[in-house]
Homo-oligomer: A and B are copies of this chain.
Amino acid sequence: MNKAVVLTSGGMDSLVTAAIANQQYDIAMLHLNYGQKTENRELKAFNDIANHYGVSHKLVVNLNYLSEIGGSSLTDYKIKISDADLNYKGIPSSYVPFRNANILSIAVSWAEVIGANKVFIGAVEEDSSGYPDCREIFYDAFNKVIELGTKPETRIEIVTPIIHFKKSEIVNKGMELHVPFELSWSCYRNTDIACGTCDSCALRLRGFQLAGLEDPLIYEKKPDYTHN
């Protein structure tokens, strides 16, 4: 079985991505702490998910410099996590500058050393928060950088299996693959009970609501997002 590195934040999207990768590959899981406010809760979700899939090949990397650099509501305590506005078209304040390039670079360094030839990431383009580094063209360009920046014999490709899924399709795919949704964590704001009102909770809840399914997580509030 070929090896693949799976970037696993601990959220719903990376959980479903891990389940997809696990069907075809011997998976190694990479998690990044970058000083985000919910760092500890996400790390717990990562470990729970790795245990669920019996993955022993794990790497947790601390990117504390991303919070030192700042510029995002996820890492900067001076910037508040805003309530979701699912119709907002700009780049949200939760955007961490060029975060995914940092994350992919680490994943590729690790993949080159352990001999993995795929790096899975659960990026979502359409039904997403509007981050520029979650678009397919970004990953296509990054694949070119990998080809040019690694050893000639190295073949590593970024794979984005859910990039064109709507959140409700991700929920359905997860159900089909019997993923443990209850182990995942998506909330940007809290670490005990998901708030239900930040961008990330709103997108997740809307996904479940549109799929007509119940999210097993407990939320502080569960607004109806089906009309947003």
Binding site for B on A (CB under 8 A): 59, 61-62, 64-66, 68-71, 91, 95-102, 104-106, 108-110, 112-113, 132-133, 135, 137-138, 141-142, 144-146, 148-152
Give complex CA distance A141, B139 in Å. 12
User: A112's contact among B97, B112, B145, by CB below 8 Å, is which?
Assistant: B97
A152 touches B91 (CB 8 A): yes
Q: Would you list 14 pairs from A and B whose C-beta atoms are within 8 A, ordered by A residue?
A: A65-B109, A69-B110, A69-B113, A70-B113, A91-B151, A97-B109, A98-B109, A98-B146, A99-B109, A101-B108, A101-B146, A101-B149, A132-B152, A141-B149
Copy total for this chain: 2
Chain A's interface: helix, strand, loop or mixed, by majority?
A: helix
Contact between chains at A102 and B105 (CB < 8 Å): yes
| Given A65-B59, A137-B148: A106 and B102 interface contact (C-beta under 8 Å) | yes
Q: Which residues of B contact A65 (CB under 8 A)?
A: 59, 61-62, 106, 109
| A145 contacts B150, C-beta separation under 8 Å | no
User: Is B98 a contact of A102 with CB atoms below 8 Å?
Assistant: no
Report whether B149 and A113 are in contact in the complex, using a CB–CB cutoff of 8 Å: no
The CA-CA distance from A66 to B106 in the complex, in Å, is: 8
A150-B97 contact, Cβ under 8 Å, with A102-B102, A142-B145: yes
| Residues of B with C-beta under 8 A to A144 | 141, 144
Q: How far is the CA of A152 from the CA of B130 in the complex (A)?
A: 11
> A201 → chain B, closest Cβ, in Å?
24
Min CB distance A119 to B, Å, is 11
- Report how far A106 CA is from B67 CA in the complex, Å: 12
> In the complex, A51 Cα to B62 Cα: how many Å?
29
